[in-house]
Amino acid sequence: MYELLQKINIKQFIKFSLVGLINTAIFYATYFVLLQFGFFYAVAITIGTFVGIINSYIWNKFFTFSAKKKSVREMCKFLIVYGVQYISNLIIVFLCVRFVGISPELAGLVAIGVGVFISYFGHKFWTFR
């Protein structure tokens, strides 16, 4: 774990965090608005995730990780990381709503916390390395 922490570039992590704040705001705003319009939370998560992925790819590729290459493989890796994050979001929201009894709005915030770690480490050490 110590070696992993040493490999984290602080400036890069701050950039990732800024992009993440914007992505989180975009995801959650989309999620919340769709819930207010009566969408089922799984559909709202799906649409919010898709909107966030587009924003995230552009900003993380060029701003955070300064990745220059253009490849289908890189995009596939990016989508796989977000696929894992998406599935974890669905599971966390489902468990929180169904078994813990909290609202879908609050459950979405809980899921975001876990997603930050999945996304950063997945992109830093796999997608854009």
What is the C-alpha to C-alpha distance for residues 96 and 56, in angstroms, rounded to an integer? 26
Segment 7-40, tens digit of pLDDT: 667 788 889 889 988 988 998 899 999 999 999 9
- Residues 39, 58, 56, 26, CA torsion sign: negative
Return the beta strands (E) in 26-117 as ranges: none
CA–CA gap between residue 38 and residue 55 (Å, rounded): 25
What's the pLDDT at 1?
A: 55
**Would the pTM count as exceeding 0.75?**
no
Q: What does the pLDDT read at residue 4?
A: 57
pLDDT in tens, 36-80: 999 998 899 889 988 988 898 889 888 988 877 778 888 899 999
- Domain ranges, ordered by start, for the chain: 2-127
